[in-house]
Amino acid sequence: MPSRLDRITRQRLEKLEELRARGINPYPPRFHRSHTTEQAIALLKQTEAGLTEDNEVSVAGRIMAKRPMGKVSFLDLHDNSGKIQLYCHRDLLSKDDLTLLKDIDIGDIIGISGKPFQTKSGEPTIEVKSLTLLAKSLQPLPEKWHGLSDVDTRYRQRYLDLIANPETKSIFQGRSQIITAIRQFLDQRGFIEVETPVLQPSAGGATAQPFVTHHHALDRDLYLRIALELHLKRLIVGGLDKVYELGRIFRNEGLSTKHNPEFTMLESYEAYADYNDVMNMLEEMVYQISQQVLGTDKVEFGEHTISFKPPWPRLELRQAVTEYSGIDFAQYPEADLLRAKMEAIGLEVDPQKNWARLVDELLATFVEPELIQPTFLLDYPVSMSPLAKTKPGRERVVERFEAFAGGMEIANAFTELNDPVEQRKRFMEQQKEHRAEEDEIEETIDEDFLLALEYGMPPTGGLGVGIDRLVMLLTGQTSIRQVILFPQLKEKP
RNA sequence: GGGCCGUUAGCUCAGUUGGCAGAGCACCUGACUUUUAAUCAGGGUGUCGCAGGUUCGAGACCUGCACGGCCUACCA
C-alpha cells in the first residue's frame, strides 16, 4: 500500500514527465531576475508616487500559496527578501504559459516577468506576462499556517524549518550580523584575524575531553582542538600583538540546551593589556554589537530583560560564591574539607573532584543561574586556572574573570601567564591531578608551547567568548540548537 | 548517565470506559474575472515510533527498545 507521500510524489513525478514531453525543462540552468520581491515593491511605490514610469520587472522565488479563481489565479511568491503576490490572468498569458500555470505546485521555484500594481485591497502584486519553471518540487511542504513545529524535523531538515518558519531565518541572519559586527569591532581596534590548526598532536588550552582521529599517512593519532589558546599565544610570542580567531572547537562531552559537541569560539589576545583592559573591551564589544545588530542594548531572554549597557557589575568570585552558596571556599582550602562542607549542606558531591572542580561546582550550582544581567566574576583560585597569571601579593589567586549573562557563562579571560618555568610547573600539577582522577585521555604537556614561552611572551590579556551563547542571548533563544544550523543529533533509525 | 513527558496521514493535531482510523491544511476532479488562511461541490491516501505481552478485541493497558523535548549530571 503506497503511503500518501508516495502518492503525492508519484503524481508530481508524472507531472514532471508531462512537462518534459511538452518540451519544458523542469530544471533550467538559469533565470535572470531584475528585482527581488522587496525591490519590486519599492519600485511599485516609486511608480505610484510618479517618480518613474517604465516598471516591468522579473522576479524569482518559491511558490508558497495558490488561489485559482477561474480566469484568474493568485500566487504568493517568496524570495530571500520577502514575498509578493502574482496575478495571472488567462487573457494575458500564452497558451503554453497557461498550461504551465496549471502544473505549478506549491513549493515550485519559478521566475516571472510582469508589471507591479496594487489590488483593490492594497496588496502589492505583479501582473504576470510570462512565467518560467525553474525547479519542480516533488515533496509537499509543511502546512502553511502552523508552519513546521516538530523540533526533531526542524533540526534534521533545517531547510524546511527555514522555508516554513520566518523566525528561524531571522535568527541565522542575526547570527551572521553578530559575527560580522565582532570582526568589525576587533579589526577597528587593530586586531588581525588568524587561523590555527584544528588537528593537533595534543589538545590543550582547556580541560575537556577531545575527539580523537587518526592520520593515515603519518600513522598517528591527532586530536580535534578543544581551545584556540595555545596557538594564539605562540603568535603573541611571534610579535603579532593583537590577534583573534573565530573558530570551531570540539569537546567530546554531553549535549544539552547549552552544549553542542562542536561550537564556535572567539579568542583574542592583546599584548601589553591585562584582564582589566579585556573586561573593558568585552563589555564595550557586546554593547556595540547589540546596538549595531538589534538597535538596542536590551534583549528579552526567557522571562527576563537583559541590558548590555556598560559598565557591568564586577564581583570577586569568592565574594559571589559566599553570597549565593553561604560557603566561603577560602576557609576550606583542601578538597576533603570543602567536600565535607558541601555535603553538610546537602549537596551530592563526586568524590573524584579536586578542590578546583568543587569550587567550580559551587559556582555552577549557586551563582551562575542567578547571574541574569551581565556580570563579571573576578580573581579565581590559581588551581582552577593553569594558564593565568597570579595576582601580585596574592599567591593563590589569578587575574582571571568570567562574564555571565542569562544564567550562562559567556566569556572567560585572564592576564596570561608568561613565565615559562611557572607554566611548566602548573601543567605538571594539572597532569598529576588528572592522573589521580583517572581521566580517560592522558594529558600530554605541549612542549612546543613551553618552548615558545621561553623565548619571551609580553604581558598579555586574553579572552575567550562562546559565540553560540552570545548569539542565544542576542536573539533571545534559550536552546543552543536554535542558533546552530545543523546541531548534533542522534542518528534516526 | 538518571528522572519526567511525548511519538497517530506529507504538515498541524483530535481520538471518550479497550469495540469500524478521524479533522483541518496539502493533494486529486470540477465551478468561479481583484483573491489573500479565497470560497463552493466531490474524492481519501495510515507499518497509530519499533518489538513483545494481556485481552474475544489494543491507537488506548503492561514490558522492553529507538528517537525527541524538558529537568539533572559533565562542561563553555
Check residue A5 and give its pLDDT. 58
Check residue A4 and give its pLDDT. 56
Nucleotide nearest to A348 (CA to C1'): B73
Rounded CA–C1' distance between A303 and B6, in angstroms = 25
Rounded CA–C1' distance between A3 and B56, in angstroms = 31
Residue nearest to nucleotide B30 (CA to C1'): A70
| A372 against A9, higher pLDDT | A372
Say yes or no to pLDDT of A249 above 60: yes
Nucleotide nearest to A154 (CA to C1'): B68
Nucleotide nearest to A2 (CA to C1'): B45
Cell numbers describing residue A408: 550562562
pLDDT tens for each residue of A465-492: 999 999 999 998 888 999 999 888 887 6
- pLDDT category of residue A452 using cuts at 50, 70 and 90: very high
Nucleotide nearest to A227 (CA to C1'): B76
Check residue A11 and give its pLDDT. 82
Q: Do A132 and A113 contact (CB within 8 A), yes or no?
A: no
Say yes or no to pLDDT of A84 above 70: yes
Cell numbers describing residue A196: 590555527
Rounded CA–C1' distance between A255 and B63, in angstroms = 29
With a CB cutoff of 8 Å and minimum separation 6, the contacts of A473 are A299, A301, A306, A405, A406, A408, A410
- Residues of chain A with pLDDT > 90, as a percent, come to 62
Of the ranges A13-22, A62-71, A292-301, which one carries the lowest mean pLDDT score?
A13-22
Residue nearest to nucleotide B50 (CA to C1'): A493
Encode burial over A371-403: b for 16+ CB neighbours within 10 A, e otherwise: bbbbbbbbbbbbbbbbbbbbbeeeeebbbbbbb
A257: closest CA among A23, A488, A9? A488
Check residue A143 and give its pLDDT. 84
Nucleotide nearest to A206 (CA to C1'): B76
Nucleotide nearest to A478 (CA to C1'): B70
Rounded CA–C1' distance between A167 and B15, in angstroms = 32
Sheet hosting strand A212-215, strand order edge to edge: A199-200, A220-224, A212-215
For A24, A111, A341, A403, A458, the CA distances from A58, given in Å and listed in that order, are 19, 7, 73, 50, 59
Of the ranges A198-207, A241-250, A338-347, which one carries the lowest mean pLDDT score?
A338-347
Q: Is the dihedral of CA A110, A114, A116, A120 positive or negative?
A: negative
Rounded CA–C1' distance between A468 and B60, in angstroms = 42
Nucleotide nearest to A139 (CA to C1'): B10
pLDDT tens for each residue of A98-138: 999 999 999 999 999 999 999 999 999 999 999 999 999 98
Q: CA–CA separation, A169 vs A164, rounded Å?
A: 9
Rounded CA–C1' distance between A148 and B47, in angstroms = 24
Check residue A2 and give its pLDDT. 41
Q: Do A155 and A165 contact (CB within 8 A), yes or no?
A: no
Say yes or no to pLDDT of A204 above 60: yes
Say yes or no to pLDDT of A414 above 90: yes
Rounded CA–C1' distance between A76 and B38, in angstroms = 13
Check residue A357 and give its pLDDT. 81
Check residue A105 and give its pLDDT. 92
Nucleotide nearest to A368 (CA to C1'): B76
Residue nearest to nucleotide B1 (CA to C1'): A254
Rounded CA–C1' distance between A76 and B44, in angstroms = 27
Task: Report yes or no on whether pTM surpasses 0.90.
Answer: yes
Nucleotide nearest to A254 (CA to C1'): B74
Rounded CA–C1' distance between A166 and B49, in angstroms = 29
Rounded CA–C1' distance between A167 and B6, in angstroms = 24
Nucleotide nearest to A469 (CA to C1'): B76
For A182, A221, A246, A388, A418, the CA distances from A275, given in Å and listed in that order, are 19, 36, 20, 10, 14
Residue nearest to nucleotide B44 (CA to C1'): A4
Say yes or no to pLDDT of A389 above 90: yes
Check residue A1 and give its pLDDT. 37
Residue nearest to nucleotide B72 (CA to C1'): A256
Say yes or no to pLDDT of A288 above 80: yes
Rounded CA–C1' distance between A193 and B19, in angstroms = 70
Check residue A202 and give its pLDDT. 84
- pLDDT category of residue A12 using cuts at 50, 70 and 90: confident
Q: Which nucleotides of B are covered by protein (CB under 7 A)?
A: 1, 9-13, 24-28, 31-39, 44-47, 66-76
Say yes or no to pLDDT of A228 above 50: yes
Say yes or no to pLDDT of A440 above 60: no
Q: Highest mean pLDDT range out of A201-205, A269-273, A328-332?
A: A269-273
Of the ranges A67-71, A245-249, A380-384, which one carries the lowest mean pLDDT score?
A380-384
Which ipTM score applies to this complex?
0.87
Rounded CA–C1' distance between A5 and B10, in angstroms = 5
Residue nearest to nucleotide B69 (CA to C1'): A151
- pLDDT category of residue A441 using cuts at 50, 70 and 90: low
Residue nearest to nucleotide B9 (CA to C1'): A4
Rounded CA–C1' distance between A424 and B55, in angstroms = 72
Check residue A443 and give its pLDDT. 63
Cell numbers describing residue A266: 572567539
Which phi and psi (to 5°) does residue A108 adopt? Answer: -70, 150
Q: What is the mean pLDDT of residues A398-407?
A: 93
Q: CA–CA separation, A261 vs A256, rounded Å?
A: 10
pLDDT tens for each residue of A422-437: 999 999 888 877 776 5
Average pLDDT along chain A: 90
Say yes or no to pLDDT of A396 above 50: yes
Rounded CA–C1' distance between A432 and B26, in angstroms = 63
